[in-house]
Amino acid sequence: MNNKRIGIIGSGPSGLAQLRAFEALKDKGVDVPEIVCFEKQSNWGGMWNYTWRTGVGKYGEPIHGSMYKYLWSNGPKECLEFSDYSFDEHFEKPISSYPPRPVLFDYIQGRIKKSKARDYIRFDTTARWVEYNEETKKFTVHLDDLKIDKTYSEEFDYLVVASGHFSTPNMPYFKGIENFPGNVIHAHDFRGADQFKDQNLLLIGSSYSAEDIGVQCYKHGANSVTLSYRSNPIGVDWPEGIKELPLLTHFEEDTAFFKDGTTEKYDAVIMCTGYQHKFPFLPDELRLKTKNNLYPDQLYKGIFYNDLPELIYLGMQDQYYTFNMFDTQAWAARDYIMGKLDLPTKAERRVDMDKWLERNEALETGADHVDFQTDYIKDLLSLSDYPDFNVDKVSEIFKQWLRDKEENILTYRDKTYKSVVTGTMAADHHTDWMDELDDSKERYLFEEEVKEEEEFVSDRL
């Protein structure tokens, strides 16, 4: 029996990928080390485990979740499919390319529920602090069992940090905002468009959160949405009711002033200004320090902390690929831990990282970004036996997705794609996305019943 101990912090899609990677070895009859995964929430799934709470949880811990009601996948599911657990296997029928959050949450859980991995997770347990002992070569992790309010510590030979990086808001200051009379929140605390019905909204930022929260508020009845950009506008053909303006300079009461001289009154402000990588449980010398980008420095192969490769970070890059990328990372991490994957010297690793960093600097278009992450995934796939999938085909789907969004930001979620894992063509959803106000799994999956019911109702009209 392998007597090493592995600690994992977080049971979101990345932490679960790490657990699944070891389960896959176990299925082959291999002895695997002891694994303990710590999760501060009461359930797994990370971001996908929706919470209505904002601020702090029932034990006073900062709320991790940034997802909201009526959130639908913002990329085709064909781009994130696990290559060892297809959508067909899980749902047993074709589903659409852009499922809502509860459906993707169900899919993530399906794979991990096939094993006993849940037994390795200690829920309601926060990692508070980590130390590394150079002599014993062990990590000591200090933990809080929130339920019984008790602190304890454990030692590990390897530590996997899978705590996510879209949770701690980046909250900029704008002059006069302290006197804005309406609601000012960050996207992290946005829980759905309902409360913003009939309001005039100002969203600051021009990335995914701004785009999606803006479109959702429009769809669910906001009176108007203004997006204010710092660097580049999103630049699509917005419908009447949504517009983009350059960055605001300041507020006077409920009036915002913009760089181009426009002034406008708003009822509420939502800061869609991104997140900070934040590791309050790690000392400075072990802490990843980066902005949100496709290749954080310090991580060899995007996962091994170069100063101490026994410290592994998963999912820390900006994400085109998600679940399948976390898998390719977790499988490579597993093989390193199992002694099946040798790493080159620290200096050689530095050279490899610099090569990627240099390329990252030169990226310009969305398609460049997709190509970069596609090549990164290919590199990772070559390191382990994670089932190969047609990454070039996925890359094409991503580029088509970029074009679809540009063509019509309100209808791109009605498009369908073909799985690269099973070859199955996605089904059309029974209702156009703009008309679909219900994101429940029941409504989404039971299309026969929904159709019959709608026909019944229309017969009676």
Residues that bind ligand NAP (CB under 6 A): 71, 73-74, 166, 170, 172, 187, 204-209, 212, 230-231, 247, 272-274, 292, 319
> Cα(409)–Cα(214) distance, rounded to whole angstroms?
11
> Of residues 156, 282, 315, 373, which one binds ligand FAD by CB under 6 A?
315
User: Which of helix, strand or coil describes residue 7?
Assistant: strand
Q: Cβ of residue 304: shortest distance to ligand NAP, in angstroms?
A: 23
The answer to whether 130 and 279 are in contact (CB under 8 A) is no
> Cα(199)–Cα(8) distance, rounded to whole angstroms?
43
Counting beta carbons within 10 angstroms of the beta carbon of residue 263, is it exposed (0 to 12), middle (13 to 18) or buried (19 or more)?
exposed
Q: Is 302 in the site for ligand FAD (CB under 6 A)?
A: no
Q: Residue type for 29, please?
A: G
Helices (H) and strands (E) in the chain, counts: 10, 20
The answer to whether 61 and 168 are in contact (CB under 8 A) is no
Residue 320 has what DSSP assignment?
S
Q: Which two tokens stand for residue 161?
A: 């940090």
Q: Cβ of residue 351: shortest distance to ligand NAP, in angstroms?
A: 28
Q: Is 15 in the site for ligand FAD (CB under 6 A)?
A: yes
Among Mg ion, ligand NAP, ligand FAD, none, residue 281 binds (CB under 5-8 Å by kind):
ligand FAD
Q: Is 404 in the site for ligand FAD (CB under 6 A)?
A: no
Q: Cβ of residue 98: shortest distance to ligand NAP, in angstroms?
A: 9
Among Mg ion, ligand NAP, ligand FAD, none, residue 64 binds (CB under 5-8 Å by kind):
ligand FAD
Report CA Rg, the chain: 23
User: Which one, 171 or 343, has the nearer CB to Mg ion?
Assistant: 343
Residues 223-252 that bind ligand FAD (CB under 6 A): none
> Cα(443)–Cα(452) distance, rounded to whole angstroms?
12
Among ligand FAD, Mg ion, ligand NAP, none, residue 273 binds (CB under 5-8 Å by kind):
ligand NAP
Half-sphere exposure of 259 (CA within 13 A, CB side): 10
SS3 content of the chain, % helix, strand, coil (to 5): 35, 20, 45
Q: Which two tokens stand for residue 294?
A: 């496709």
Q: Which two tokens stand for residue 456?
A: 């019944």
Q: Cβ of residue 49: shortest distance to ligand FAD, in angstroms?
A: 7
Residues 58-87 that bind ligand FAD (CB under 6 A): 64, 66-67, 73-75, 80
Q: Cβ of residue 272: shortest distance to ligand FAD, in angstroms?
A: 10
Among ligand NAP, Mg ion, ligand FAD, none, residue 293 binds (CB under 5-8 Å by kind):
none
User: Which one, 184 or 187, has the nearer CB to ligand FAD?
Assistant: 187
Nearest to 66, CA basis, from 212, 269, 232: 212
Among ligand NAP, Mg ion, ligand FAD, none, residue 207 binds (CB under 5-8 Å by kind):
ligand NAP
> Cα(215)–Cα(207) distance, rounded to whole angstroms?
12
User: Which one, 138 or 415, has the nearer CB to ligand NAP?
Assistant: 415
String marking each residue 191-220 x if it binds ligand FAD according to CB under 6 A: ------------------------------
User: Which one, 321 or 372, has the nearer CB to ligand FAD?
Assistant: 321
Specify the DSSP element, H or E, that contains 323: helix 323-337
Using CB positions, name the residue nearest to Mg ion: 381
The DSSP annotation for 183-224 comes to EEEEGGG---SGGGTT-EEEEE--SHHHHHHHHHHHHTT-SE
> Cα(301)–Cα(295) distance, rounded to whole angstroms?
9
CB atoms within 10 A of CB 247: 15
String marking each residue 342-381 x if it binds Mg ion according to CB under 5 A: ---------------------------------------x
Q: Cβ of residue 343: shortest distance to Mg ion, in angstroms?
A: 17
Nearest to 269, CA basis, from 166, 181, 170: 181
Q: Is 377 in the site for ligand FAD (CB under 6 A)?
A: no
Q: Is 329 in the site for ligand FAD (CB under 6 A)?
A: no
Q: Cβ of residue 388: shortest distance to Mg ion, in angstroms?
A: 6
> Cα(132)–Cα(308) distance, rounded to whole angstroms?
10
Q: Cβ of residue 364: shortest distance to ligand FAD, in angstroms?
A: 23
Residue numbers at the binding site for Mg ion (CB under 5 A): 381
Residue numbers at the binding site for ligand FAD (CB under 6 A): 9-15, 38-41, 46-48, 64, 66-67, 73-75, 80, 126-127, 162-164, 166-167, 281, 315, 319, 322
